[in-house]
Structure 1
Amino acid sequence: MDLNWDDLRVFLHVARGEGLTAAARTLRLDPATVGRRIARLEEVVGEALFLKSPQGYQLSDAGARYLPHAEAAEQAARAAGDALAGTTEDLSGPVRIGAPDGCANYLLPSVCARMLDAHPALELQIIALPRVINLSKREADLAITVSPPETGRLTVQKLADYHLHLAGHRDLLARLPVATRADIAAHRIVGYIPDMVFDRELDYLTELGLDRAAVASNSVAVQLNLLRAGLGLGVVHDFALPAAPDLTRVLRTDFALRRSFYIVRHADDQKVVRLRRFTRIFNEFFRDELARLERDA
C-alpha cells in the first residue's frame, strides 16, 4: 500500500477538526482540495475513513482504527525533522500554544516577546479560548491550564502559582470604600457567567460567599474592562493589574486566592526534541514574567 504523507496530514487535520473547512483553513488549502485528498486516501486504503453528513466528518470504524497509525507516522516525521535539524541552539518554525484568555491577554505577550528575542525564527500562535484546549485533536502543541487534566495520553507539569484579589476602579472605591467583607454588599459584582465556568478553579464567587454577578462575561479581558468602566468589584489576576493601573485591590489580607498554572503536552511529544527544548525555555520565561508582573501589581 503506497501512502502519501501529505494525504496522511490531511486525514489527521480532518479527523481533529471534524470537517473539511476547519482542516482547509489550518492547512491553507481550499476545502475541495482537502476533499479530494481524503477521497484519494480512501481509495488507496480501500475503506471509507469518515462518515460524512451536513454536520461534518466523523471517523468511521475504519478511520478510528487508522488514526493511531497516522499519528505514529506524524510523530516519526517530527522526530526525523529534529534529527535533520541537529541540535542547534536556535528554535524555528510554528508553535501553537493554547491558554485561558486571562493568561493569553496579560501574561503571554511578554513571555512571547522574550521567546522571539531569543529565537527570532519562531512563529508563535496563541489560542485563547474560554474552555479547555483539546490536545488529542491537536488544537495546539501545548496548553496552559488551571487544573491538571485527569484523562488522556498527556504529560502534565506544574508551571507556577499565581494570585488573585478583589479589585475595583479607584474612583468607585473613593465613593464606596471597602474595608471589610460586609462593605462588598454596597457594590455590584463583576464575574463569570455561571454556566460557562469551564473549570472549578474559576469559581471565585463561591469563595466570596456569593451566588451571582450583576455583570458577567466568559472573558477575563471583558471582565477587566467592565471593572475599569467602574461597574463594580471583581476578582482580578495580580499579573493583569499592571495593564489596568486605574484598578485598586481591596481586602488584600482578608480575601486572597492562589491558583496554579500547568503546562500540558501530548504524551507522544516527549519524543520531539524541538518541543522539549521549546517547553524548557518557555517555562523559564513564563515563571520569570509571572513573578515580575505580580511584583509590579
Structure 2
Amino acid sequence: MTDRKRTALDWQDVRMFLALGRYRSLSATARALQVNHATVARRIQSLEESLGDKLVERRPDGYRLTPAGEHALQVAAEMEVAAQNLSRPAIGAPDTLRGLVRINAPPALAQGFLLARLTEITATHPGLDIDLATDLRSISLSRHKADIAVRVGHAVDADLIAKPLGSMAFGFYGIAAQCDRAERGELPTFVGYNEESGDMPGAEWLTRHFPRSRIAFRGENHIMQAIAAGNGAGLALLPHYLGRSLPGLTLCTLEPAPPPRDIWLFVRRQDRNVATIRAVMQHVQDSFKASEGLFSA
C-alpha cells in the first residue's frame, strides 16, 4: 500500500484509528465510540488509503499495529491533545476546564480511595469528565489506554513522567474472633489472592512467611479480600488505608508485616501540560498528601 497516492486526512478517520489503537478490537472501539463495526473498519481503511500505508493487521486475539501504525498512533494522540488544547485555554479556570480524563489504578486503590476523591474534582469543575478504570497489572500508557496511571511499586518506565504519591503500609485485618485466635498463638487462617493472581507481591510474601497457614478464601483483589475477612473467613493482609476505612475490620497484632510499597502517578510526557490532565494530576497528588496518615503504619 506504500505506493498509493496520499490524500487529505479526515479527522474522523484519525479518531477511529486512535480508539482502535487503544482498545485493539473492533467491538470495543465500536462500543466506545457508539458506532457499528462496519463504520470503524471503513474509517480505518480510509485512513490507510489517505496515508498510503498499512496501519493494522488482524490477529486471532485482536488487532495489531504495524510499525507504520505505531508511528501513526503516536502522531494521532498528539493531534488529539492539540485539538483539546484548541477548545480550551491553556490555563484552565474552574469554569473552563472541559474534557475527558481517563485514569487507571489497581482495583482496591480505585474503589477504596480514588473514587471518592475524584468525584470531588468533577463537582469543582462541572465540565470535567472522569473515566476511572481498574487493573491489577500495569496497562500501557503508550497505547493511550489511559491518560494517568496510578501504580504501586517501582517507577520503571523511562518514557513516562513519574510522580511519587507516598507509600502504602500493610497490616492484618479481620473480625475480632479471628484476631484473638492469632494473637493467642494459634495458626492463623488467611484470606488471600486467587490462583490467577498468585504472582502478586502480597500473595508471594504471605506464602513465604506463613507457609503452614491455610488460605480459606481467595479473591482477586484487596476489596474482595477485605469483604471476606469482614465476614469472618480469615485474616486479610490489607493496605492500612483500606483496613481502616471499611467497617467490621480489626487490626491484628500479628508479625511480621511486609514493608511499605511506594505509590506512583504516571503520565505521558507530551500530556503533562494539558490543562485537564494537569488539574486531575494535581488533585490526585493533593489527595494523597492530605491522607498520608491513612496510608502509614
TM-score, normalization: structure 2?
0.85
1:80-119 correspondence to structure 2 within 5 Å: 80-83=86-89, 87-90=92-95, 91-119=97-125
1:50-65 correspondence to structure 2 within 5 Å: 50-65=56-71
Q: Secondary structure, in 3 states, of the residue corresponding to 2:87?
A: helix
Correspondent of 1:237 among 236, 239, 245:
239
After the TM superposition, list the runs of 4 or more consecutive aligned residues in structure 1 that deviate by more than 4 angstroms.
Answer: none
- Give the drift of 1:267: 1.8
Higher fraction of helix:
1
Q: Distance in 2 between matches of 1:70 and 1:162?
A: 36
In the other structure, the counterpart of 1:221 is 223
In the other structure, the counterpart of 1:191 is 192
More moved, 153-162 vs 90-99 = 90-99
- Give the drift of 1:248: 0.9
Per-residue CA shift, 1:95-138, capped at 9, x if unaligned?
A: 21111111112111221232233223322221112221221122
- 1:46 maps onto 2:52 in alignment: yes
The one-letter code of the counterpart of 2:247 is P
The one-letter code of the counterpart of 1:255 is A
Q: Distance in 2 between matches of 1:47 and 1:189?
A: 55
2:172 touches 2:236 (CA, 8 Å); kept in 1? yes
- 1:69 maps onto 2:75 in alignment: yes
The one-letter code of the counterpart of 2:57 is L
Correspondent of 2:273 among 271, 274, 285:
271
- Give the drift of 1:253: 7.2
Correspondent of 1:22 among 19, 23, 28:
28
- Give the drift of 1:207: 6.4
Q: What percent identity do the matched residue pairs reach?
A: 28
2:183 touches 2:254 (CA, 8 Å); kept in 1? no
2:172 touches 2:238 (CA, 8 Å); kept in 1? yes
Q: Distance in 2 between matches of 1:166 and 1:222?
A: 15
Q: Distance in 2 between matches of 1:145 and 1:86?
A: 27
In the other structure, the counterpart of 1:163 is 169
Structure 2, unmatched stretches of 5+, are: 1-6
Q: Secondary structure, in 3 states, of the residue corresponding to 1:44?
A: helix
The one-letter code of the counterpart of 1:88 is A
Q: Secondary structure, in 3 states, of the residue corresponding to 1:244?
A: coil
Q: Distance in 2 between matches of 1:207 and 1:247?
A: 24
The one-letter code of the counterpart of 2:226 is L
TM-score, normalization: structure 1?
0.85
Structure 1, unmatched stretches of 5+, are: none
* RMSD of equivalent CA atoms: 2.7
More moved, 255-264 vs 73-82 = 73-82
Q: Distance in 1 between matches of 2:16 and 2:159?
A: 22
2:182 touches 2:254 (CA, 8 Å); kept in 1? no
Q: Distance in 1 between matches of 2:169 and 2:137?
A: 20
The one-letter code of the counterpart of 1:219 is N
The one-letter code of the counterpart of 1:220 is H
Correspondent of 2:135 among 129, 136, 156:
129
Q: 1:80 to 1:199 in 2, by over 3 A?
A: farther
In the other structure, the counterpart of 2:4 is none
